[in-house]
Structure 1
Amino acid sequence: MPNNKMVSRVENERFLVLERVYDMPRNQLFQLFKEPEHLKRWWSTDGWELPVCNVDFRPGGVWHYCMKCVDKNQEEYGMESWNKTIYKEIIEPEKIVYNDYFSDAEGNINESMPSPEVTMEFIDLGSQTKLVSRSEFDSADSLQAVLDMGVLEGITQTWNNLDVLVERLK
């Protein structure tokens, strides 16, 4: 089980801030965010997996992926959720800035859904790394919409999966 919990808060009505410490040096943790073979092992919620995970990890590059529910006990069984990330800035191993979009299988962005700019900071704590995610939404309503969709529960499960992978790789 995870050895610590994610801390979350809303700032200035438009920012969702998440923090968690991982028991892995910064250089190693950063690698888990850039390679498709690593992302496929942890970037999902319980009962979901990434059958499609195409990553072009560079500024201007795109990460296009599909999360699919594979748990027959969930009412969403068989459902697919497509997303598209466009990287804006990458400073290895310190920071990743990207725009996050809902999309379709062809990568067409769903303009009716919130699309935050996300800044992921990897703070060096020696043998550990503090991960800080700041998602900026265009309005308080957009942030509230994703909170209502269960984004906090989903990210908590995803970051728990990352912690399990970190423990396995130690």
Structure 2
Amino acid sequence: METIDNVTEKELVITRIFNAPRELVFKAWGEAERLAHWWGPKGFTLGVATLEFRPGGVFHYSMTSAQGQEMWGKFVYREIEAPERLVFVTSFSNPEGEITRAFFSDTWPLEVLNVVTFTEQDGKTTMTLRGGPINATEAEQAAFEGMFGSMQQGFAGTFDQLETYLASL
């Protein structure tokens, strides 16, 4: 069982290599105009309500599908060590920024702690995202673990968009 900060259960781990320098990949996580190009599921439009890229700051956003379905989410940043590491808690939210249950599950964890690390070699950046529920019940932990495959597919699509965005620069 791996441990990151106060995550003591199984975590989701996704690693991706981008053909871009670390500083650029890191910036893509911290600037609203950059996030709008890639964050979220394929086919969704990102709306940034708030982006305070600092420890204690919030990224509050909406995602709207082509059919008009709207979802809200937020990050609360815990650590920002440019350009090496980001630590933030993600949650679903309402338009006011209050934490809500996920629309797809009554047992999805309210909060997920994510640690993203960035390393560079020969102009390419290896980005690793590690995430796991915090303050979760047993049922919430089980729901999270049961969605690993779906989350891996979702992040693959999101990171495909990040790769396309970085290649366009």
In the superposition, the TM-score normalised over structure 1's length comes to 0.82
Give unmatched runs, 5+ long, in structure 2.
3-7
The code of the aligned residue for 1:141 comes to A
- TM-aligned CA deviation for residue 146 of structure 1: 4.0
Deviations 1:6-63 (A, max 9, x none): xxxx968520000010001111111111000000001122211113342100000000
Is 1:58 equivalent to 2:59 in the alignment?
Answer: no
Deviations 1:111-153 (A, max 9, x none): 56422100000012130100000002245414235447x3222
Other-structure match for 1:90 = 80
Is 1:119 equivalent to 2:119 in the alignment?
Answer: no
Give unmatched runs, 5+ long, in structure 1.
1-9, 71-76
Other-structure match for 2:142 = 141
- TM-aligned CA deviation for residue 81 of structure 1: 1.0
| Runs of 4+, deviation exceeding 4 Å | 10-13
Aligned residues: 153
Could you tell me which of 96, 102, 111 is aligned with 1:106? 96
Other-structure match for 1:38 = 34
RMSD across aligned C-alpha pairs, in angstroms? 2.0
Other-structure match for 1:168 = 168
Separation (CA, whole Å) in 2 of partners of 1:62 and 1:110: 16
Query: Is the 2:12–2:130 contact (alpha carbons within 8 Å) kept by the matching residues of 1?
Result: yes
Query: Is the 1:40–1:53 contact (alpha carbons within 8 Å) kept by the matching residues of 2?
Result: no
Other-structure match for 1:78 = 68
In percent, how many aligned pairs have the same letter? Answer: 31
- Paired residue secondary structure (2:63): strand
Separation (CA, whole Å) in 2 of partners of 1:156 and 1:165: 14
